[in-house]
Amino acid sequence: MATTIFSDSWFRVSGLRVALLPSVEVNTQQFRGRTWYVLQDPYTQRFFRASVQACRFIQSLQPDKTVEEVWEDFVNNHPHDAPSREEVIQLLSQLHVSNLLYSLQQSDNEAIVKRYKAQKNKELMGKLASFLFLRVPLFNPNALLDRIRPLILALTGWGAFWVWFLTLLWGTWAAFENRGALRDQTEGLMSIGNLPWLYLSMTGLKMFHEAGHAFVCKRFGGEVRTVGVMFLLFTPLPYVDASSSWGFSNRWHRIYATFAGMAVEFFFAAAGALVWANTAPGLTHSLAFNVMLIGSVSSLFFNGNPLLRFDAYYMLSDYAEIPNLYQKAQQQWKYFGDRYLLGTVSAQSKATDRKEWVWLTLYGLLSFAYLMLITFGIALFLMDQWLPLGLLVLAMTLYSRLLTPLNQLFKHLRGGAIQGNRRRAFSAVGGIGLALFLLLAVVPFPDATRAQGIVKANHASNVYVQTAGQLDTLLVRHGERVLAGQLLASFSNTDMVAERRLIEAAQIETQAQIRQALHQASQDLSALQEKADTLELRRLHLQEQQQQLQVRASQDGEWVAPDLHEHLGTWMQRGQALGEVVDASSFRFVAVMPQEQADIMFQKNFSHAELRLSGQADAPLALPQVSIIPFQSDKLPSTALGLPGGGDIAVNTQEPSGTKAMESFFLLQSEIPAEQQLGFTVLHGLSGTLRLQTPAQPLLSQAYRTIKQLVQKRYAL
């Protein structure tokens, strides 16, 4: 440590008589080959991590000596390790904020009070900003955990590990074997009927999740003094305070305590998969499915994501041996700006070596980008639920991520740290601000509107089952050329054959009755003749239906039915699709455009259009003319454009065809000239993206238009 003599705030603390609280415990931890000390108050669960030299100075504080006397003694005894006066002020301030100091005198130290108030204000603002993650403590479970310590040791030892591991393998295999059914059931996860069971499963899992943290923390001697309820986006969920594990000397014990919650969820997810795979549809089956999905996917995406400050973040921090990884990564990027943009030569990097430099640089960049993505995603979700709340969260995000950093930058520019490079700092900030303004608000950038669509042959006809029957014979294979009237497939219907025989027998009987009535009962003749006519009409109708059992092509073209052979020998209902006959001589592209973007087409506000086909997106296909059908529609031209088919458009899953969109849209269409198809593989049913090139605009104008369209679509404002 440096022993700089001068400090303009030293006179404020030099006369204080302070010392560590008697209850404070000191533990050692190893980080990157260096020894650190963790000061911990087991009653308040306050922590402070200090280097060996700083800890020696802190432990030398005595209530019967002033801070200046202690510092002078330390300088005399440890001249190479003594902290500077500025570092002493910072240490005392941090210890005071952590409530780890006591004093026998009334402190009038303005520097510490100022820092204390600033810290309290920061904590208050943090709580206000995180009102969507409110915590309410309920009771102290520590005594209960002490009483069941033998059970805790059994459930967190090696025997429990092997049970956990084998169950995990078994459950994963069961889910893999039933992946088709799993995918189908996932589509109904957010249905109204499943939401109560989803919440019940999540609450139960989180209880065991938090118990896992508490058990492992207690196994290694930690204290667990709080159980409570956390309101996550106004959804009540349990939580425990197992932060005492942060003071464990062994980093693998800390990692184990952090991983325990996810490990418990993985275990229940595997057990849920086994129950789900071996039960019939019902309540047990549904609960097991929810537990399986939440314990695996949800746990990995949230607790298992190190870019969010949940379990995986603390595991990564301990593994990389970088305490406070997120804060240090932010400070590292502030150092980059201060040193290389503002030119502050005295700025110090938070990294102590090359490896730590890489960790802090990469983590700072990735975590910031991901946090912004998640925060805006939450804001949009809340705006869908309740617009004022979503707008409030969005405003707080902009305040904390944009306005607050700008305010800190202006304070830094006015401070003394850049006194020697103030002109360069102001020039750099002004230059960057001007460049951003020009880049975002003045310089035009290429702009385009995109629409998903599908290639369709101009002459194509769908072939359906016109009469229900059993598919006996396929006379044409998929991809073969057919002529109009050519027989494609043959069906049989034994019930229809039997019914026709009965009708023919009834006709013979009726004709005999008519001949008899001509000689004996002329009054019955009209009724019998009417019956004979009815039977003949029914016979002709059956004859027509039997003819329809022989399916023929309605036009010349290529027979497209890739999966029809799988239905051989099966019963097919009337109206069921068999395939298509496609004339591949000419094609058109049909695209779907949302209502909020349709003004581009109506105003013809685009210069040219190009098509990029799936699998051939490296080269565009020019389209000479694009027209819009001036009527709204909700019927997609293909199931491939809906979400279940891999497209981007939400469809009504209750509608059997799978082509009814949730919102109305407009259809665009364009002929694909034969000369433009050279070098491309253009097939009926191939999906693609239509790109309409619009006049170049600055990025801010494009963003403003996108936001307006989003608001119009989501909130009908």
Asked, for residue 453, whether it belongs to a domain, the answer is no
Q: How far apart are CA 484 and CA 558, in angstroms?
A: 11
State whether 471 and 336 are in the same domain: no
Indicate the residue type of 396.
Answer: M
**Does the global pTM surpass 0.75?**
no
Asked, for residue 547, whether it belongs to a domain, the answer is yes
Segments in 337-353 forming alpha helices (H): none
- Asked if residues 18 and 104 have their Cβ atoms less than 8 Å apart, the reply is no
Q: How far apart are CA 154 and CA 167, in angstroms?
A: 17
Asked, for residue 455, whether it belongs to a domain, the answer is no
Q: How far apart are CA 288 and CA 276, in angstroms?
A: 5
Note the pLDDT of residue 60. 83
Sheet holding 571-572, edge to edge: 550-552, 487-492, 469-474, 571-572
Note the pLDDT of residue 387. 67
Of 129, 152, 182, the domain-final residue: 129
Of 272, 296, 320, the domain-final residue: 320
Asked, for residue 577, whether it belongs to a domain, the answer is no
> Taking the CB of residue 482, how many other CB atoms lie within 10 A of it?
19
State whether 168 and 282 are in the same domain: yes
State whether 114 and 259 are in the same domain: no
pLDDT in tens, 206-261: 999 999 999 999 999 888 888 988 877 667 888 898 888 888 888 899 999 999 99
State whether 436 and 470 are in the same domain: no
- Asked if residues 382 and 232 have their Cβ atoms less than 8 Å apart, the reply is no
The closest alpha carbon to 271, from 204, 194, 216, 191, belongs to 204
State whether 306 and 333 are in the same domain: no
State whether 68 and 143 are in the same domain: no
Q: Collapsing DSSP states into helix, strand and coil, what is residue 8?
A: coil
- Asked if residues 88 and 13 have their Cβ atoms less than 8 Å apart, the reply is yes
> Which domain covers residue 522, as residue numbers?
461-572
The closest alpha carbon to 464, from 492, 481, 488, 483, belongs to 488
Residues of the chain falling short of pLDDT 70 = 1-9, 11, 43-45, 104-133, 187-193, 233-234, 381-387, 389, 416-417, 419, 521-522, 604, 653, 656-658, 712-717
Of 390, 414, 442, the domain-final residue: 442
Asked, for residue 3, whether it belongs to a domain, the answer is no
pLDDT in tens, 153-183: 999 999 999 999 999 999 999 999 988 888 7
- Asked if residues 269 and 296 have their Cβ atoms less than 8 Å apart, the reply is yes
Backbone angles phi, psi at 168, to 5 degrees: -65, -45
Number of structural domains in the chain: 5
Asked, for residue 615, whether it belongs to a domain, the answer is yes
The closest alpha carbon to 416, from 696, 713, 136, 6, belongs to 6
Note the pLDDT of residue 109. 47
State whether 98 and 214 are in the same domain: no
State whether 638 and 610 are in the same domain: yes
Give every CB contact of residue 374 below 8 A, 6+ residues apart in sequence: 308
**Eight-state DSSP code of residue 642:** B
> Which residue reads 């029809």 in tokens?
564
State whether 431 and 535 are in the same domain: no
Note the pLDDT of residue 6. 47
**Eight-state DSSP code of residue 82:** P
The closest alpha carbon to 96, from 111, 84, 82, belongs to 111
State whether 597 and 668 are in the same domain: yes
Note the pLDDT of residue 123. 55
State whether 408 and 526 are in the same domain: no
> Which residue reads 């019927």 in tokens?
635
Asked, for residue 448, whether it belongs to a domain, the answer is no
Indicate the residue type of 480.
Answer: E
State whether 338 and 437 are in the same domain: yes
Asked, for residue 471, whether it belongs to a domain, the answer is yes
